[in-house]
Amino acid sequence: MRPHSLRDMKKEATAHALATAAFELALEKGLDGFVVEDVVQRAGYSRRTFANYFSCKEEAVAMIAMTFDGSVHEDGELNFDLSERLSPVDVLHRWLQARFTTDLLRKIRELFSLSRRHPTLEPFILSVLKRLEAGAEEELRRFSRDGQDLVYSHLLIGAVFGAVLPILDGTLQVRLPGDPEERAPGAIPFEQHLAATFAYLRNGF
């Protein structure tokens, strides 16, 4: 659910500020180059407040991918018209286009890059990806018709995330929206990769 009170919005803003501070410090100094005290000083909060939101600095760093402003909240819910007759593939296509913004894709790429140097970050990145998958599942449930095959839904979500993961971890060279071509010559544009992925899902392999 979206934040429905001032208290909810303040809590989200606090989590976002702490995660942003931790992420910035990780990029600047590496995961071993700062401690929780540095995070709270940069964000302007206390250690006690930090402990109310995160178990450690690694979790705070990874959660930069789950703290958002705007129309998409961390549960993945989008402003779709529930009266539309959308197929599960269409729902996931719209969800992914709205959820995986250029900013988010860049941040997750940075997280994977950090995790290669600091393996303690990996389980927290996995947790973030699981929460993103849960958001996709919730979106499908909102649009599901009676009797929709749950096995099909899980396979579909698995296929979509399987196509996106190589972009996030850097094993597939894909140029993100806004990136100049010279930064990654020969790389596939993200929208082209996404369109090809969903064409396979609609038409079969």
Q: Provide the pLDDT for residue 70.
A: 38
Taking Cα atoms as reference points, which of 198, 149, 204, 195 lies closest to residue 174?
195
At residue 170, the 3 state secondary structure works out as coil
**Residues 95-116 pLDDT 10s:** 888 888 889 999 999 999 999 9
Q: Provide the pLDDT for residue 111.
A: 96
Q: Provide the pLDDT for residue 79.
A: 55
Please state the rounded mean pLDDT for residues 175-179: 83
In whole angstroms, what separates CA 130 from the centre of its chain? 9
pLDDT band at 5 (very low <50, low <70, confident <90, very high): confident
- Spatial contact of 179 and 188, defined as CB atoms under 8 Å apart: no
68-72, 88-92, 160-164: lowest mean pLDDT where? 68-72
Q: Is the confidence at residue 167, as pLDDT, over 60?
A: yes
Please state the rounded mean pLDDT for residues 175-194: 84
pLDDT band at 71 (very low <50, low <70, confident <90, very high): very low
Dist CA 136 CA 62 (whole Å): 19
Dist CA 198 CA 200 (whole Å): 5
pTM for the full model?
0.83
Please state the rounded mean pLDDT for residues 113-130: 95
Q: What angle do CA 14, 52, 101 make, to 5 degrees?
A: 45
Core vs surface per residue 117-156: b (16+ CB within 10 A) or e: eeeebbebbeebbeebbebbbebbeebeeeeeeeeebeeb
- Spatial contact of 39 and 18, defined as CB atoms under 8 Å apart: yes
